[in-house]
């Protein structure tokens, strides 16, 4: 469902970009995500910031930023987020 994009060699983050255009209902995701052992850090209405081993920013546009250099961790988190979003 997501394409993994490395932002730059010096950055310590990856971007998950949906393969098809989606809009995420962040209010709904916020309610569900805690049952997947994510800690909610902040919610502004347009971005949901959570933590599970690393910081993750989920945007309503479907873009997700994962702040880590560990590609295996990114793949694991991408799979969990797909389960949360039920896609």
**Termini Cα distance of the chain:** 7
For the cut 80, the answer to whether the pLDDT of residue 1 exceeds it is no
Mean pLDDT of 23-28: 90
- pLDDT digit string, tens, across residues 29-73: 998 998 888 999 999 989 999 999 999 999 999 999 999 989 999
**Residue 46 pLDDT:** 92
**Residue 87 pLDDT:** 62
DSSP state of 52: S
When the candidates are 2.60.40, 3.30.1490, 1.10.3470, 3.30.310, the CATH number that belongs to 2-85 is 3.30.310
Strands of the sheet containing 55-59, edge to edge, are 2-6, 14-18, 64-67, 55-59, 47-51, 39-43
Cα–Cα dist 39/50, whole Å: 5
Confidence of residue 8 (pLDDT cuts 50, 70, 90): low
Give the side-chain half-sphere CA count within 13 A for 72: 0
For the cut 80, the answer to whether the pLDDT of residue 10 exceeds it is no
């Amino acid at each position: 469902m997501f394409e993994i994009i490395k932002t730059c060699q010096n950055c310590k983050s990856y971007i998950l970009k949906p393969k098809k255009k989606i809009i995420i209902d962040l209010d709904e995701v916020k309610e569900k995500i805690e049952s997947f052992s994510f800690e909610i850090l902040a919610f502004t209405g347009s971005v949901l910031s959570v933590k599970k081993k690393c910081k993750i920013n989920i945007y309503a546009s479907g873009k997700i930023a994962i702040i880590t250099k560990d590609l295996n961790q990114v793949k694991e988190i991408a799979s969990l987020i797909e389960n949360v979003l039920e896609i």
